[in-house]
């Protein structure tokens, strides 16, 4: 089994299937065991007039454990991209084997830089070639290769990204929300920890109040629930708190 990081960007258009959904579908197609968790992380990139994007300019990344070769993985991913991407989109695909030797810091630095400045396709392809990243474009201008490469770096960074989808342990059906121990929350969701805004990890015995929409983040190389203190109890983070990820 080899470990891979796969990232896609710029596959959608207004009113079409989102990039995150397409990433989840590719992860499902590639998963050898359907019980395997292939959580997709959304990585926010720089929003600028010179950068075309549909709504948020974000890349979608997931990790895959597979016996398949690079060629086999790429064949499945490309076929699905071509089938599902919007006609007006500019899809990019980036794949790297985590078991190989490469300059991780260079990839992380590229990802972090792409959150605050405009990068070019030439810069992306030059770095991909140097690091051994399989980087390809699949329609339109191919501008999505920039975000796809950046997404790999941001996932490697380990302190960036929101998990695609929402967590519902019953709080959405309960107007006042639900109270749950950290231990039970982790067991039921598969998350690695519950962490507060100050970076402190909550003890397993502590109680968290969940209400409305609950989203997980990627922090300290783990999938985690971010919480804040409100009226002397721990509550799931609000949208304004999640913006940091």
What burial class does residue 204 get, using C-beta atoms within 10 Å of its C-beta: 0-12 exposed, 13-18 middle, 19+ buried?
middle
pLDDT at 105: 98
Question: Would you state the pLDDT for residue 37?
Answer: 64
Domain boundaries of the chain, sorted by first residue: 2-162, 166-242
pLDDT of residue 18: 81
CA 208 to chain CA centroid, Å, is 24
Say which CATH topology domain 2-162 has: Alpha-Beta Plaits (3.30.70)
**pLDDT tens-place values along the chain, 245 residues long:** 899 999 999 765 655 678 889 999 999 999 875 545 689 999 999 765 555 554 467 899 999 999 999 999 999 999 999 998 877 778 899 999 999 999 999 999 999 999 999 999 999 999 999 999 999 999 888 899 999 999 999 999 999 999 999 999 999 898 899 999 999 999 999 999 999 999 999 999 999 999 999 999 999 999 999 999 999 999 999 999 999 99
For residue 139, what pLDDT is reported? 82
- pLDDT computed for residue 15 by the predictor: 57
**124 with 45: CB under 8 angstroms?**
no
What is the C-alpha separation between 186 and 81, in angstroms, rounded? 33
- Report the relative pairing of strands 193-196 and 222-230 from DSSP bridges: parallel
pLDDT for 6: 98
């Amino acid at each position: 089994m080899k470990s891979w990081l796969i990232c896609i960007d710029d596959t959608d258009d207004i009113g079409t299937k989102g990039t995150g959904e397409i990433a989840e579908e590719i992860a499902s197609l590639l998963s050898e065991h359907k019980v395997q968790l292939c959580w997709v992380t959304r990585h926010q990139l720089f929003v600028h007039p010179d950068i075309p994007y549909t709504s948020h300019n974000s890349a979608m990344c997931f990790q895959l454990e597979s016996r398949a070769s690079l060629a086999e993985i790429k064949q499945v991913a490309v076929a699905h991209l071509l089938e599902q991407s919007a006609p007006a989109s500019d899809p990019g695909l980036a794949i790297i084997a985590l078991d190989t030797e490469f300059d991780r810091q260079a990839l992380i630095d590229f990802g972090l830089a792409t959150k605050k400045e405009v990068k070019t396709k030439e810069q992306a392809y030059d770095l991909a070639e140097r690091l051994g990243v399989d980087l390809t474009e699949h329609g339109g201008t191919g501008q999505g290769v920039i975000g796809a490469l950046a997404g790999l770096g941001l996932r490697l960074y380990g302190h960036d990204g929101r998990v695609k989808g929402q967590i519902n342990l019953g709080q959405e059906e309960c107007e006042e929300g639900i109270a749950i121990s950290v231990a039970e929350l982790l067991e039921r969701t598969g998350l690695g920890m519950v962490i507060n805004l100050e970076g402190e990890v909550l003890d397993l015995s502590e109680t968290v109040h969940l209400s409305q929409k609950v989203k997980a983040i990627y922090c300290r190389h783990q999938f985690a629930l971010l919480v804040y203190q409100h009226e002397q109890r721990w509550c799931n983070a609000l949208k304004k708190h999640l913006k940091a990820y």
